[in-house]
Amino acid sequence: MASPDTIIHRNYWLDEALAQETPRDDAPPLDGDRRADVVIVGGGYTGLWTAIDLKTREPSLDVVLIERDICGWGASGRNAGYLLNLWAKFATMKRRFGRDEAIAIGRAVDQGIEELIQFCDDNGIDAEIRRHGWLMAATRPQHDGNWPAMIDDLARHQITPYEELSGAEIKARWGLTGILAGMLDRTAGHLQPAKLVRGLRRVALERGVTIHEHTSLTGLERRRPPVVRTDHGSIKTDKVVIAMNAWGARLPELRRFIMVTGYANAMTAPQPERLQETGFADGPCVNDSYNLINSLRPTAGGRVLFGKPGTALALGGHVDASFEDDTARLLDADRRRQELDPLMPGLEAAFAWSGPIDRSRDGLPVFGPLPGSPDIVHATGFSGDGVGPCRLAGKVLTSLVLETPDELTALGLVRPPDPEFPPEPVRWIGTRLVRRAAGKIDLADRDNGRVGAVTTRLGKLIAAGVADTEAGPKESPSGS
């Protein structure tokens, strides 16, 4: 049985993907000064989709992508692989942009997901995509109840990805116990995230994108044309794409738009017989409804991946080493037994790792130019739901770079980085207080206890539920 001491802290997904690349060569770092038509900073889904789209639409463009480590080192190579649309955030989108615009955004993300799947098929990327759905589960009586309104609201607009399931149905289908009720998004799926991002890297290279790995952005001259400074060189360019995810918080224009929080994942040893017997081998990705939400999904290799928010929190947008090993809360055996055992007993981590989430205040991403710099565009604030939406981001950023306005650049997500969080240190202190309150409410829910009025009010700031994320989405990738 694995204990925290015996767990290997490394990213299982990325190791697995890299092991299949033979021979594997990192792209050479940038050494010297050069020119390019477009420079993309960041080798995750956002940067690579944009690079591929640019070369597809304008093959003669000189597109250079710089990545400070290797492509896939960031969130794209280490996430939980939930492939989700944005319908669970419909209420927030409606309030922010109006009903028609919310529908347009949701449909654009849906289309992006279909294109992602088709792209993998067309380009020989085996990202282990399984469309087995996404289950939002209530495991405590306090958690049951706020999704029928959302399902009805969407159905009024002929949007019907969801079905309600009883605890008994869930147990019969996938052997998951202790669930009182659930909402299944039949259109969702899961995938091996690192195989997707490494596949995109391969295609980008095949299409003529120049990639420099082990090359860090060290300075950005916001003039026209902009200049990208790196550790050993510089690039004068017409356009810059910032695809740095949480690390984008180092740019003053984005710092107050996102709050960077940690999230942890763990992978069990293979247990294919058990998963086959229960039906979970073909099961959905699952979230429970705690504030510090638990996640659970099968892998194509017969393992189970589970996850939980960590404790790392960036002060002033500084994403430090604490995000690389932020697994303590996930590996707290007592908490796990109480929260995850009811669903699937005996989950033990063989591998565990963590990473930063670029959480925006409304839980929705922003695409567009950096304020005051029309030649520098970015996509930021995926808030733990980026696997599907990054496909849309790539298309939007491409049209912005090529200055070809279309129906996607007209979407509400193309907006200034707003609303903002309060300045530091208020943001950091406030977030810690809110997270602590949310954790206390979880414990009370779990143990049928009670919390005081102040804790309740603070906790509400983190967890307004699936149907209403205005006050801030739950602390989870794909927890909406």
Ligand X SMILES: Cc1cc2nc3c(=O)[nH]c(=O)nc-3n(C[C@H](O)[C@H](O)[C@H](O)COP(=O)(O)OP(=O)(O)OC[C@H]3O[C@@H](n4cnc5c(N)ncnc54)[C@H](O)[C@@H]3O)c2cc1C
Q: Does 309 bind ligand X (CB under 6 A)?
A: no
Which window, 60-68, 407-415, 421-429, 465-473, contacts ligand X (CB under 6 A)?
A: 60-68
Cα-based torsion angle of the residue sequence 129, 168, 480, 83 in order, rounded to the nearest 10 degrees? 0
CA distance 297 to 303: 9
Q: Of the candidates 445, 472, 84, 42, which has an alpha carbon nearest to the alpha carbon of residue 230?
A: 42
Q: Does 263 bind ligand X (CB under 6 A)?
A: yes
Q: Does 298 bind ligand X (CB under 6 A)?
A: no
Q: Judging by beta carbons within 10 Å of its beta carbon (0-12, 13-18, 19+), is residue 118 exposed, middle or buried?
A: exposed
Q: Does 317 bind ligand X (CB under 6 A)?
A: no
Q: Quick one: 68 or 440, whose CB is closer to ligand X?
A: 68
Q: Does 305 bind ligand X (CB under 6 A)?
A: no
Q: Does 265 bind ligand X (CB under 6 A)?
A: yes
Q: How far is the CB of 226 from ligand X (least distance, A)?
A: 15
Q: Does 368 bind ligand X (CB under 6 A)?
A: no
Which residues between 83 and 102 bind ligand X (CB under 6 A)? Answer: 84
Do residues 53 and 377 touch, judged by C-beta distance below 8 A?
no
Do residues 182 and 170 touch, judged by C-beta distance below 8 A?
yes
Q: How far is the CB of 98 from ligand X (least distance, A)?
A: 25
Choice from 12, 17, 27, 45 touching ligand X (CB under 6 A): 45
Q: Does 54 bind ligand X (CB under 6 A)?
A: no
Q: Quick one: 53 or 67, whose CB is closer to ligand X?
A: 67
Q: How many chain residues bind ligand X (CB under 6 A)?
A: 42
Which window, 3-11, 62-70, 144-152, 159-167, contacts ligand X (CB under 6 A)?
A: 62-70
Q: Quick one: 76 or 268, whose CB is closer to ligand X?
A: 76
Q: How far is the CB of 410 from ligand X (least distance, A)?
A: 22
Q: Quick one: 43 or 167, whose CB is closer to ligand X?
A: 43
Cis peptide before 419 (omega within 30 of 0): yes
Q: Does 195 bind ligand X (CB under 6 A)?
A: no
When computed from its CA atoms, the radius of gyration of the chain, rounded to whole angstroms, is 21
Q: Quick one: 79 or 360, whose CB is closer to ligand X?
A: 79
Q: Does 290 bind ligand X (CB under 6 A)?
A: no
Q: How far is the CB of 198 from ligand X (least distance, A)?
A: 12
Which window, 76-84, 330-338, 430-438, 458-466, contacts ligand X (CB under 6 A)?
A: 76-84
Choice from 7, 27, 39, 43 touching ligand X (CB under 6 A): 43
Which window, 51-59, 61-69, 100-108, 415-423, contacts ligand X (CB under 6 A)?
A: 61-69
Q: Does 75 bind ligand X (CB under 6 A)?
A: yes
Q: Pattern 329-358, binding to ligand X, x per CB under 6 A?
A: -------------------------xxxx-
Q: Does 384 bind ligand X (CB under 6 A)?
A: yes
Choice from 85, 327, 409, 478 touching ligand X (CB under 6 A): 478
Q: Does 80 bind ligand X (CB under 6 A)?
A: yes
Q: Does 81 bind ligand X (CB under 6 A)?
A: yes
Q: Does 189 bind ligand X (CB under 6 A)?
A: no
Q: Does 259 bind ligand X (CB under 6 A)?
A: no
Write the secondary structure of the chain as one string of H (helix), E (strand) and C (coil): CCCCCCCECCCHHHHHHHHCCCCCCCCCCCCEEEEEEEEEECCCHHHHHHHHHHHHHCCCCCEEEECCCCCCCCHHHCCCCEECCCHHHHHHHHHHHCHHHHHHHHHHHHHHHHHHHHHHHHCCCCCCCECCCEEEEECCHHHCCCCHHHHHHHHCCCCCCEEEEEHHHHHHHHCCCCCCEEEEECCCEECCHHHHHHHHHHHHHHCCCEEECCCCEEEEECCCCCEEEECCEEEEEEEEEECCHHHHHHCHHHHCCEEEEEEEEEECCCCHHHHHHHCHHHCCEEECCCCCCCEEEECCCCCEEEEEEEEEECECCECCHHHCCCCCCCCCHHHHHHHCCCCCCCCCCCEEEEEEEEEECCCCCEEEEECCEEEEEEEECCCCCCCCHHHHHHHHHHHHHHCCCCCCCCCCCECCCCCCCCCCCHHHHHHHHHHHHHHHHHHHHHCCCCCCHHHHHHHHCCCCCCCCCCCCCCCCCCCC
Choice from 119, 351, 382, 421 touching ligand X (CB under 6 A): 382
Q: Quick one: 103 or 241, whose CB is closer to ligand X?
A: 241
Choice from 245, 261, 360, 480 touching ligand X (CB under 6 A): 245
Q: How far is the CB of 87 from ligand X (least distance, A)?
A: 13
Q: Does 76 bind ligand X (CB under 6 A)?
A: yes
Q: Does 69 bind ligand X (CB under 6 A)?
A: yes
Cα-based torsion angle of the residue sequence 48, 49, 55, 58 in order, rounded to the nearest 10 degrees? -140
Which spans of this chain sit near ligand X (rule: CB under 6 A)? 41-47, 66-69, 73-76, 78-82, 84, 216-217, 243-245, 247, 263, 265, 354-357, 382, 384-388, 390, 477-478
